[in-house]
Amino acid sequence: MAVTTLEDLLGAGVKGRHVLVRSDLNVPLDGQTITDDGRVRAALPTIRRLAEAGAKVLVTAHLGRPKGEPEPKYSLAPVAARLGELLGSPVELAGDVVGEHAKALAGSLAAGQVALLENVRFDPRETSKDAAERAELAGELAALAGEGAAFVSDGFGVVHRKQASVYEVARELPAYAGGLVLAELEVLGRLTGEPARPYAVVLGGSKVSDKLAVIEALLPKVDKLLVGGGMCFTFLAAKGYGVGGSLLEAEMVDTCERLIADAGDKLVLPVDVIAADAFAADANTRTVPVDAIEEGWMGLDIGPDSVRAFAGALSEAATVFWNGPMGVFEMALFAEGTRGVAEAIADSPAFSVVGGGDSAAAVRVLGLPEDGFSHISTGGGASLEYLEGKELPGVSVLQQGSE
């Protein structure tokens, strides 16, 4: 991939220069408490290297989906505190995105210091459909950094978005790919190039419609496609099974029938599920075959026989990509399917990639060793779009800049 990189920037020297870094710090919060700091830790190496080289590091990022105006629950204040803890030095948070406080903070940075701008999505121009509005915000972000500044794109979780702090700002400043973005692209390149075989993909999550494009892109390329999570019930309905009150996309049943026919023996579906009489942590549960889910009951996890079947398929794989939990892992009653499949992947000698989002959170929430996986991605949506063969605007703009 022809892009200028963090190494190129460091080689040119950054001491005393402002460097604007777009990180992905979109962490889950419980009130003001970060429940999974994986993305903060993933952003750390690039920020630390720049600071240690004497740059004045100005970080921009988003959190959640505010409606283009400040919302206290989406403030990056908890992230600034955690980033400072991990760096071992305070990280001041600007009270605005590109306003007077941001300007003053950027101007006061000393060499080696790190500051964080407030949630960039508090400014409606960040996600505007109007390119001129996005370009205006990008120009103001670049002006904060000032003359002689550089931009480092290190938020892989947002490179599939054409947004001001991802795309347009890379046209305003000399732009470089950060270490995290490069690592993600290298790993995904292995999956889309000539992966070691057998190549198994495990997909979970709620909806077939969310994963349809990646299923269609991957089916011709994989040796096994294992489907769990809420999306499996639409496949089971396509096989003629009653799914009770389980999550069902009725409009996708015909599509699943086609996918089942196209996939043949590549497709592995659950053979049993953990059914519950309510979507609740204290629900009554029973383990039933997939053709015996009663009306009024809903499947909320794959069952133990399914875990064994999935583990058997995974034990033979040389490459594994996993995206999406097998059940409602946040509730202990429905976590064992995800745990069992994750442990099977971790125990396998395969080159294994966890595809970001809920899967990465599940690894940490369930206390599984992160080093059991070859790579844990920070970009769920970006990873899937890459595997679908889509262009990622935040990557293509870096390639354009290097031409």
CATH number of the CATH domain containing 317: 3.40.50.1260
Are 143 and 216 within one domain?
no
Q: Are strands 319-323 and 351-354 parallel, antiparallel or unpaired?
A: parallel
Asked if 380 is an active-site residue, the reply is no
Asked if 381 is an active-site residue, the reply is yes
Enumerate the β-bridge partners of residue 299. 275
Asked if 88 is an active-site residue, the reply is no
The candidate with the shortest Cα–Cα distance to 202, out of 214, 190, 187, is 214
Are 200 and 102 within one domain?
no
Given the residues 99, 112, 179, 381, select the one marked as catalytic: 381
Are 202 and 113 within one domain?
no
Q: Is residue 387 part of a domain?
A: no
- Annotation-wise, does 299 bind a ligand? yes
CA distance 153 to 395: 9
Q: Is residue 268 part of a domain?
A: yes
Given the residues 17, 22, 38, 39, select the one marked as catalytic: 39
- Annotation-wise, does 224 bind a ligand? no
CA distance 263 to 94: 52
Mean pLDDT split into 10-residue runs, the chain, 403 residues: 89 97 94 92 97 98 96 97 97 98 97 98 98 98 96 96 97 96 92 94 92 91 96 96 96 96 95 97 97 96 98 96 94 96 94 86 87 88 88 92 53
Q: Which residues contact 76 (CB under 8 A, 6 or more apart)?
A: 25, 61, 63, 93, 116, 117, 118, 119
Are 268 and 353 within one domain?
yes
Residue 148 tokens read as 């002689």
Q: Is residue 386 part of a domain?
A: no
Q: What is the pLDDT of residues 190-240, one digit of tens each?
A: 999 899 999 999 999 888 998 898 999 999 999 999 999 999 999 999 999
Are 175 and 198 within one domain?
no
Are 169 and 231 within one domain?
no
Are 96 and 241 within one domain?
no
Q: Is residue 155 part of a domain?
A: yes
Residue 295 tokens read as 């009306």
CA distance 21 to 4: 14
Q: Which domain holds residue 335?
A: 187-377
- Annotation-wise, does 161 bind a ligand? yes
Q: Is residue 269 part of a domain?
A: yes
Q: Is residue 21 part of a domain?
A: yes
- Annotation-wise, does 356 bind a ligand? yes
Q: Which residues contact 318 (CB under 8 A, 6 or more apart)?
A: 195, 196, 197, 198, 199, 349, 350, 351
Helix axes 131-145, 100-108, angle to 10 degrees: 40
Q: Is residue 114 part of a domain?
A: yes
Given the residues 207, 266, 364, 390, select the one marked as catalytic: 207
The candidate with the shortest Cα–Cα distance to 58, out of 134, 152, 158, 167, is 152
Q: Is residue 25 part of a domain?
A: yes
In which order are the strands placed within the sheet that holds 224-227? Answer: 267-268, 224-227, 199-203, 319-323, 351-354, 375-376
Q: Is 186 exposed, middle or buried (0-12, 13-18, 19+ CB in 10 A)?
A: exposed
- Annotation-wise, does 101 bind a ligand? no
Are 174 and 63 within one domain?
yes
- Annotation-wise, does 347 bind a ligand? no
What is the structure's pLDDT at 380? 78
What is the structure's pLDDT at 1? 58
Are 159 and 227 within one domain?
no
- Annotation-wise, does 63 bind a ligand? yes
What is the structure's pLDDT at 381? 84
Asked if 39 is an active-site residue, the reply is yes
Are 36 and 164 within one domain?
yes
Are 114 and 209 within one domain?
no
What is the structure's pLDDT at 368? 87
Q: Which residues contact 384 (CB under 8 A, 6 or more apart)?
A: 211, 213, 214, 323, 355
Given the residues 178, 357, 394, 401, select the one marked as catalytic: 357
Are 175 and 196 within one domain?
no
Total domains, the chain: 2
